[in-house]
Structures are given as structure tokens and as C-alpha cells.
Structure 1
Amino acid sequence: MVRVRVVCAVLATTAFAACSAPVQLPAPDPSEQAKIPGSAGIGDPYYPEDGNGGYDVTSYDVAVSYDPTSKRLEGDTTVVATADAALGGYHLDLTGYDVAAVEVDGSPARFTREGDHELVITPATPVAAGAVFRTRVTYAGVPKISEDAALGVSGWQIAKSGGAFVAGEPHSASSWYPVNDHPLDKATFRLTAKVPDGWRVIANGREESTTSEGGWTTSTWVEPNRIAPYLTTVGIDKWTLVRSTLADGTPVVDAYAPGTEDKRQVESRLPEVLEFLAGKFGPYPQSAAGGIFLNESISFSLETQTRPIYAKWAGLEVIVHEQAHQWFGNSVSLERWADVCLNECFASYAQWLWDEDKNRVDLDKLYRTTVARKTDSYWNRKLVDMGAGNEFTAVYDKGQLAVHALRKQLGDEKFFTLLKRWTSEHRDGNASWADFTALVTEVAGTDIGPFLDAWFHQAGKPGDEYLYPAGLRK
């Protein structure tokens, strides 16, 4: 994600009682919480109600019809999952809608709604531990527009053309289909979307078919790579679709909303961007490529898998950032939102790498200049475990400095080895900051824990020994 504006709160002072030190308990492990039968929440300490426990989703088959005139969506979604334990009941996330029926393995199941987004399901027969089971949910209604004071509008949104699109982080998928809405549970994704003739559909992955009958156009898109739910999307508009291929045959589909024709020139550089990033991070890890260009002044662009969504203000640097996420965040996804630097710090640094190579920017000089002019409020922000609501702040700017300092600490050979090993060893999976720290230590051949702690875990300006590694100061 790239945001047009970054707002953060800085805690200036903290008082502690002189007689005792605070006790810090370890954060719950989402991967373990995810296995708790029937739990309403996957265990992320920042968003404890996101996702659900007791099962692992393997695939989503989502079918929706949407009428832009009435703004009514009708959905029929099948979720295929494997039970981690015996399930007498379990949850899916679905925000709004009237649920008409739920079936588990073809048999009617009882269901109730709890809170804003919990769909609680009780199958006629408990699901056995280790069993593969299918949950089918039929539902309908006008999608609910969700807005958070810190994170802005998220999920289903109405376009100025009268169409609609889905974008949002950290959660958005539950705004249009029943889902285990957390990045820890990635699954393949298939979408069949029906819209009135004259409207068109864009989504993730490869276009399988588009047909028209009875005044409605139906399109099917398939993403065979596992995808984190917030990275799924659908766009309904009067798109101009431009199809091409990369040199290796990967299909490219670019979608331009009315009024975004000027973006075709900058998107023409996509093959160059992907080739450059592949040289730094390893082979392109996705099944397809492209971009979705909105004529909307939303506050962010988002790395929706295979085909990022771009606000109307996005330029080439944003394309570089969101495409870097196809490796950092999409192929290798985080386990908990406290570790979002694994996504954003490295996608942000990709912009620096691009400027270094294409625009001949001296990154050491840029680093020194940036360090010299920043004040305490800039430094007093953490990059790892920064607190819920603060995830999308320091990772975009202080994160660039931290990654460049890490590069200087390791040296170029080890640094770029680190990047390629990270994206290769965790491809199509999830990983944590602890995993990254272990790999950095292995690649470095020595313990650089104090360096990582000073830059990523502390809210404050690193000491000079960490701020200027390898003679970075001149």
C-alpha cells in the first residue's frame, strides 16, 4: 500500500513507577490461535476479531451478481477448508447482507449472526478433525461501506461512474464474500461476476471467460496462487481493458476507468518495472500481471494480487512500490500485522532501488540528507510492533532509511542474497519478523541483533554506530 498522506501520533513521555518494572507477556502466536476449534478470531493481537480459528481454507469459489443501479449484490460462495480439529461449529467473516442459507457438505446448517461480521455456523453433523469440508453461503443485500478513523474507507466502495471496486487493508474481503479474513489463511481464488451489459469486470489472476446472455455479462477470473483475503478484489466499471503478455508469456491485463486514459503511458513501463524488480528479488512470483486504474482520489493505492489498484494521483513511483509487493506481502505474506514492515519497508525501499538504477540517485547521499533534516517526531516511531492503527506510518519513510542502513551493514552481496533467499524460501507462504531476523543473522554470519533492535524495535533515533554503518557518514 502507498498512502498519499501519512498521519501518526507520537507518545512524548511515559512514566513508570519507581518500585517495579512492567511485565511484558509474549504476544499470542496467530498460527497457534488459528487452530483453536471454532474461535472467533485467528489470534492477531492487533485485530483479535479478524479471521477465525479451527480450520485452514484451501479455496474460495465466489459468484456474485451486482446491479450498479440498485447497488444490490447477490452472492453464492463456496469455501473449501480442512479442519484442524473436530468442529461442532465455526465462524466465517461476512459484513452485512441477509444470509438466505448455509450448507455444509451439501446438508443444510444452522447459522446465526454475531457482532458486525461474524457468521456462526453449526453443521448438522460435526466436522471431523482433518476432514476437508465445503461451506456454501447464499446471501444478498447492499454492500456496507466501512470507514475507520485511522485507516480510512475499506472494502466495497462506489465509484464516481456508478460502478464499484473493492480495496482496503488490513481487512476488506468480508465486505463482499464470506471469508477467513486474515492474511495467515491464504487460499486459491475463483470469481464469477455477473453485471448488466455495458459494464465490465476486472479481478485478480487470469481471465477464464466472458460471455453475455439475457442482458447480463458474466466474467470468470481465476487466481491459482494462494492469496491473502485483503488482496482479493473486483472492479465493476466501464473499463477499457488492454491485454498483452510479458516476455515469458505471463498474461497482462490493464483496466482503465473512464477518465484515466493518461495512465496508459506510465503503465507501458510495467514490463520494465517487473524485469527490474525480478533482478533484485528473484523471478516474478504471480500468475498474471497488470493494473487497475481508478478515476478516484482515494487516499491509497493497494497491491491487490497480480493487479494493483491505483488512485488517480498514482505515478511511476507508486507502480514500482505496488509491484514490489507482489514479492513482499503478496507472495510472502505476514503472519501478524505487527510485522507489516516486512511488506511496506521493502516495497518502499524498492522505490529507492529504482531511483538508484534508473535516475542515478546517490542513495548514500540521499540517506545522509534525510537523516540530517529529520526531527525527534520522525524518529520516535517503531517499525516493528508499532501498535494497532499505526501500521501504515513510519514504514513508508523511516523504513527506507532502515533498509538502506541494513544494506550498508551487510554489504551489497549479502543484502541482495538476503532479499532473494527471503522471497524464494517463503514463496507462496507466510513468515514473521522472527523468521526474517533468523535469516538476516544467517546471511550476515554474525549476530546483528543490536542493529536490528535499534532500527526496527525502538522508537528513537539509532545511535551513530547503527545510524552510519560501513562508513556511511562522510
Structure 2
Amino acid sequence: MLSVVKRGSLTGGALLACTVLGASVASGSDGIGDPYWPQDGNGGYRVSHYDVKVGYDPAKPDELTGDTTVSATAAEGLDRFDLDFTKAFAISSVTVDGIAVKGFSRTGEHELVVTPDRPIPAGARFDVRVVYSGTNAGAWYKPDTGGMLVIGEPHSATNWYPANDHPSDKATFRLTATVPAGWTAVGNGRQGPTTTRDGKTTFRWDDDRPQATWTAVLAIAKFTMVHAALSDGTPVISAYAPGADTAARKYGDRLPEIIDFLSTKFGKYPFSAAGGIYFNEKVAMGLETQTRPIFPGTDSPDVVTLIVHEQAHQWFGDNVTLKQWRDICVAECFASYAQWLWSEAKEGQNLDAKYREIVAANRDNPKFWETRLYDPGAERYLAAVYRTGPLMLHALRRTIGDAAFDCALTQWQHQHGGGNASWPDFEALVQHISGKDLSGFFQAWTRSTTIPPGEYLFPGPLKP
């Protein structure tokens, strides 16, 4: 993300046990236990796929109907389990493997507790289907041009579909959205068949690569759809809301060029489709929704920088996703430095000079350095990654050399693509590739709250 501006362990939380056909069953915990937001996510199962069906009519902008099936595998025996889902929706039915569930309840703002009629043994695959409808005006952005947009980090998924809402549990995703004819619904991945019947059009989108819940998107407007391709033939599908189609096209049309450039730095583009969604200037931010990031549809060169940032997230943040929210640097630090790499290659900028200028301007500004890059705290998890993150990576590049740095970027994708990794995992990889003891460097740059000492601030050819 870049602004132009819940929940114990997977195997813990046993409250009740019994024996069914020789299998021990227990309640799943109501949170994964992330230190920042312990109640995010849920214990006891892993999701493999979301099949989300929604209906929306812009004439009733605060109303949404939904029918979501979550396919999962029990990591432990379950006599009950939780899904994260806003209580703003009324639930008409819950089924587990096609059997109606009588025992479901709501706790807190985002907790749906499901008690299946039959306990689920450890290792069993199961489908839970939730049918719902309601209003949730505070959770959706409704642009002046009509339609709606649901996005947000770190929490947004539970405002429109039930989920195991933590980045450590990634799953493939299918969206089926039905809207009045003349409107378009856009989601993640490749576009499937579109059908119109009785004045309504149904759009289908499939992302066949695992995605974190916060990177799912639902966007509805009278979009202008633009199709292109990467150099390897990967389809690029972009959606421009009214007004943005003329304001942002000259920047959005550079998206294939940008992704092809990033592929030379990070390795092959990791997904089966690419693109972007461009709203008006009131969407004053970008977000790395997988395969189809969000951008403001404004006529500003800053949009190019934003496209570079959010497309870099397709590798760093989406393909390789943080394990816990304290690992935010594995997403934002790299996406921010990608902007530097773009300016170096495409605009001829001297990055050493840029680095020195920023450091010189902030050497006597303790606030600039006061937030750690690793484990910065829940209230400040985005406070430093955009400002000191790219500085740290440039200093690292000058410390280990371009060859080792470039190797680390591509090996990171090779080792962890499609899954999750932590910031310490990246430190270990770089130390292995470079053959250097970098403990002092990382202590000074990612765990300290003061300006790094001179040997780490100006390594190698980076002279003051």
C-alpha cells in the first residue's frame, strides 16, 4: 500500500474434547495469535479456496447480498470453529458439507462461531457455506460516479465475505458478482464467462494463485475495460471508472512496460493475469490488491510512481506474503525501493546522490529514525517503511554489492513464492548469499530507533 497522502495458535485453544470414531475433537481458537491483532484469523483449520458470490444494485448503494463457500482442512479436531465476518450482515443460513448448521452465533464485531452437527476430525476437508445480506455503509467506498469499492489493509475482507482473516492463511479465490446490466464488476485474477439475463449481468473472476484475504477486491462501476498483454502474453485487464478513462489512461497504458521492467529485477511476473482499477481522485491511495491493484484515476505523473509501487507488491507482499504484521517490511520496504530502481533505470537518477540528500536532510531529525522497520508496533506498522525502508535497502545493496543484492531479490521469490516469509527469513537469505556477517547492519537499520552509525549509514562506495 502507498498513500498519495484476531485472533492463540493453530493448534491451541482446546476447550472441550470427546471421541468420535476414534478421533479427538476440540474447539478451534478464535484467533491466530498475531501479536499486533491477536483476534485476527482463527485457529484449527487452513483455508484452500474461497468461492464468493455477491449481488449489488447501485440504486441501493448500502445493500449487498452474499453467498460464500469457504473450503478448508481441519488442522485439529473441531467441534466448533470461527470465521471472521462483520455482524453488520444478517445471516440466513450456514451449512457445513451441505448439512444445515443450527448452532451458529455472533460474538464481538467480527466473529461468527459455527458449531457443526457433527465434529470435524483432524485432517478432514470441509466446506462451510454462509448466505447473508444487509447494509454496511461504513465499510464501502461509494464513488461519485456510482458503484462501490471494497478494499483496505489490514482489515477489509470481513466487511464483505466470511474469512480466516490473517495473511498467513492464503487461498485461491473465485468471485461471482451480479449487477444491473450496464454496470461492471471487477475482481482478482483472470476474467471468466460473463452472462446477462433478466436485466442483470454476472461477472466471474478467478485467481488461481493463493492470495491473502486483504488483497481481495470487489469494484463496481460503469468501467471502461482496457485489454493488453505483457511481453510473455500474460493478459493485462484494467478498469477505468468514468472520468478516469481519459485522465489516467496515458499512465495506465504504461502498466505492461512497468511490469516487464520489474520482472527483470524480481523474476517472472508471478500471476496468470495483471491489471489495475482506476477510480477518481477521491481514492487518494494505491493498494496492492492481487493482480489488479487500486489507483487514483488522476492526470498526474505521480500515478506512474504509484503503479510501480503497487505492481512491485505483486512480488513483495502478494506472491511472498508476510508471516505476521510485524514483518511489514517484506512488503513495503521493497515496493518503496522499486520506485528508486525505476527512477534509476528510466529517469537516470543517481541513487547514491538521492540517498545522501535524504540522509543529510534528516541527520539531526530523531523523529525520522524513531520507528523500527522490523516489529514497529501495531499503531506504527506503516510509519517507517516508506521513508527509511528504501534507505535501508540501498545501504544493503551498497554493502553486499549489486550481484548479491539482485540474487537475493530473485531467490526470495523462488524460495517463498506463493507462501509466507518473515523479515528474519530475508536477513538469513542475504547473509547466506553474500557470505557476510550482517547482524550489525540489520541491528542498526531494522531494530534501532536512532540513526545508524557511520559504518552502516555510509557503507562501501556510499561516502558522506
Q: TM-score, normalised on structure 2?
A: 0.93
Shift of 1:446: 2.3
Shift of 1:413: 0.4
Shift of 1:257: 0.3
State the 4+ residue runs in structure 1 displaced beyond 4 angstroms: 28-37
Q: Map 1:211-360; keep pairs closer than 5 Å.
A: 211-260=195-244, 261-313=246-298, 315-360=303-348
2:74 corresponds to: 83
AA partner of residue 94 (structure 2): V
Pairing 1:97–2:81 present: no
- Distance, in Å, in 2 between the alignment partners of 1:34 and 1:242 is 49
1:184 corresponds to: 168
- Distance, in Å, in 2 between the alignment partners of 1:141 and 1:436 is 43
- Distance, in Å, in 2 between the alignment partners of 1:400 and 1:56 is 34
Task: Judge conservation of contact 1:160–1:296 (CA < 8 Å) in 2.
Answer: no
- Distance, in Å, in 1 between the alignment partners of 2:368 and 2:12 is 35
AA partner of residue 3 (structure 1): S
Report the secondary structure of 2:51's partner residue: strand
The counterpart of 2:64, out of the listed 51, 68, 73, is: 73
Cα separation, partners in 2 of 1:124 and 1:29, compared to 1, 3 Å: closer
The counterpart of 2:100, out of the listed 83, 108, 125, is: 108
Task: Judge conservation of contact 1:34–1:42 (CA < 8 Å) in 2.
Answer: no
1:9 corresponds to: none
The counterpart of 1:406, out of the listed 377, 396, 402, is: 396
Report the secondary structure of 2:336's partner residue: helix
Report the secondary structure of 1:469's partner residue: coil
Task: Judge conservation of contact 1:205–1:222 (CA < 8 Å) in 2.
Answer: yes
Report the secondary structure of 2:456's partner residue: helix
Shift of 1:445: 0.8
Task: Judge conservation of contact 1:94–1:174 (CA < 8 Å) in 2.
Answer: yes
Cα separation, partners in 2 of 1:346 and 1:31, compared to 1, 3 Å: farther
Shift of 1:37: 4.8
2:354 corresponds to: 366
- Between 306-315 and 344-353, the greater mean CA deviation after superposition: 306-315
Shift of 1:33: 6.2
- 1:1-45 CA-to-partner distances (Å, cap 9, x unmatched) read 11123xxxxxxxxxxxxxxxxxxxxxx996666999511111111
**Structure 1, unaligned runs of 5 or more:** 6-27, 147-155
AA partner of residue 212 (structure 1): T
Task: Judge conservation of contact 1:380–1:460 (CA < 8 Å) in 2.
Answer: yes
The counterpart of 1:61, out of the listed 51, 60, 71, is: 51
- Between 223-232 and 291-300, the greater mean CA deviation after superposition: 291-300
- 1:341-400 CA-to-partner distances (Å, cap 9, x unmatched) read 110000000000001111111101110111000111111121111111211221011111
Shift of 1:81: 0.2
2:437 corresponds to: 447
- Distance, in Å, in 1 between the alignment partners of 2:137 and 2:48 is 26
- 1:408-429 CA-to-partner distances (Å, cap 9, x unmatched) read 1110000000101001110000
Task: Judge conservation of contact 1:34–1:52 (CA < 8 Å) in 2.
Answer: no
AA partner of residue 122 (structure 1): T
Task: Judge conservation of contact 1:37–1:55 (CA < 8 Å) in 2.
Answer: no
Report the secondary structure of 1:157's partner residue: coil
AA partner of residue 274 (structure 2): A
- 1:91-129 CA-to-partner distances (Å, cap 9, x unmatched) read 001112001110001111120000001000000000010
- Distance, in Å, in 2 between the alignment partners of 1:34 and 1:165 is 36
Pairing 1:167–2:164 present: no
- 1:29-74 CA-to-partner distances (Å, cap 9, x unmatched) read 9666699951111111111111111100000001010111123111
1:462 corresponds to: 452
Q: Map 1:131-150; keep pairs closer than 5 Å.
A: 131-146=124-139
- 1:161-219 CA-to-partner distances (Å, cap 9, x unmatched) read 22101111011111101111111100000010000112111110001011110011101
Identity of aligned residues (%): 49
Task: Judge conservation of contact 2:332–2:386 (CA < 8 Å) in 1.
Answer: yes
- Distance, in Å, in 2 between the alignment partners of 1:405 and 1:32 is 40
Task: Judge conservation of contact 1:212–1:218 (CA < 8 Å) in 2.
Answer: yes
Report the secondary structure of 1:292's partner residue: strand
AA partner of residue 87 (structure 1): L
Cα separation, partners in 2 of 1:29 and 1:285, compared to 1, 3 Å: farther
Pairing 1:203–2:195 present: no
1:378 corresponds to: 368
2:121 corresponds to: 128
- Distance, in Å, in 2 between the alignment partners of 1:394 and 1:462 is 14
- 1:242-286 CA-to-partner distances (Å, cap 9, x unmatched) read 112222121111100001122111111111111110111011001
1:25 corresponds to: none
- Distance, in Å, in 2 between the alignment partners of 1:206 and 1:33 is 37
**Structure 2, unaligned runs of 5 or more:** 15-25
Across the aligned residues of Structure 1 and Structure 2, the Cα RMSD in angstroms comes to: 1.6
2:23 corresponds to: none
AA partner of residue 4 (structure 2): V
Report the secondary structure of 2:432's partner residue: helix
- Distance, in Å, in 2 between the alignment partners of 1:296 and 1:34 is 46
Between the two proteins, the alignment pairs up a number of residues equal to 443
- Distance, in Å, in 1 between the alignment partners of 2:286 and 2:112 is 30
Cα separation, partners in 2 of 1:460 and 1:114, compared to 1, 3 Å: same
